[in-house]
Amino acid sequence: MTGGHRIILTRQRDRNKAWATRLGAAGHDVVELPLIRYETLPVPDGTDPGSFDWILFTSPQGVKAFHEAGLSAGSARIAALGAGTAAALGEAGLKDDLGARTVDGVEFAQAFLAKVTGPGRVLLPGPNRRLEDPKASLSKAGFEVVELPLYETCPIPASEWPPVSFETGDIVFFCSPSTVRAFTNARTERPRCVAIGETTAQASRPAGFETAVAATPDLSAMVLAAGLDPLPEPVTPEMES
């Protein structure tokens, strides 16, 4: 792709930093526009993750919230949805016992059920609102699945956005439906965008964005979907949304 473009990063502030550094090192013009932030929720009394057979993490933020809440996996086995979530587990001193490298909840459930036979008890730590899978598929297969809300995703009000004027050629990187909603609720512009996966694309297309979809949920794939030259390989696994 020729020049004359900027990449707009819309994840939470701490996640944008690492991606901005890597993109900048590759010569890209980057604008950090964090559109969401996470707010911690209290852990319900009597919560005992170690009483479950499996704990399934679907995002790095879920791992972070679990760790910061002081929760312990005990004897429960652990599974991570993708490479970024598995990397977050490693940083928290936890081991991914399943080794799945999937792109969404549906694939995650399929990978889990291919290796684990029910019945059993499964804990899903994460956001207070989540998609149907993997819970629906695991429940149908005979597992008792319990969701543990540890955080909620909140849009950053437009009044708190850094000053930004969108230009022809800008490419917005969306990593969740929440970032798409935050953008569309605050602005009327519809730059070209790249969605980190099909779930996010299902939010961006109806909102009027010309949308490309990354083949895998990571920065390298998003850059390729944007039609840009491949990035050098990262030193550590990337944190997907």
Per residue in 172-213, pLDDT (tens digit) is 999 999 999 999 999 999 999 999 999 899 999 999 999 999
Q: Residue 44 has what DSSP assignment?
A: P
DSSP 150-193: EEEEEEPPGGGSPP----TT-EEEE-SHHHHHHHHHH-----EE
SS3 57: strand
Q: Among 125-134, 138-147, 186-195, which is the least confidently predicted range?
A: 125-134
Contacts 24+ apart (CB under 8 A), 182-188: 182/10, 182/35, 182/36, 182/155, 182/156, 183/10, 183/35, 184/208, 185/155, 185/158, 186/155, 186/157, 186/158, 186/161, 187/158
* Selected residue with higher pLDDT from 118 and 4: 118
* Selected residue with higher pLDDT from 137 and 239: 137
Q: Residue 49 has what DSSP assignment?
A: G
Q: What structural domains and CATH numbers belong to the chain?
A: 7-35+156-225 (3.40.50.10090), 58-151 (3.40.50)
Q: Residue 241: pLDDT above 80? A: no
Query: Distances in Å between the alpha carbon of 234 and those of 38, 119, 166?
Result: 26, 39, 29
State which amino acid sits at residue 72: S
| pLDDT score, position 237 | 53
| pLDDT score, position 1 | 43
Per residue in 158-189, is it b (16+ CB within 10 Å) or e — as a string? eeeeeeeeeeeebbbbbbbbbbbbbbbeeeee
- Give ∠ CA 212-215-220 in degrees, rounded to 5: 90
| pLDDT score, position 2 | 41
Q: pTM value?
A: 0.83
Q: Which of the residue ranges 11-15, 108-112, 235-239 has the most confident prediction, judged by mean pLDDT? A: 108-112
Q: Measure the CA–CA gap between 187 and 12, rounded to whole angstroms.
A: 18
What mean pLDDT do residues 208-228 have?
95
For a pLDDT cut of 70, what percent of the chain falls above it?
Answer: 95
| Residue 15 pLDDT level (bands cut at 50, 70, 90) | confident
Q: Residue 3: pLDDT above 60? A: no
| pLDDT score, position 101 | 87
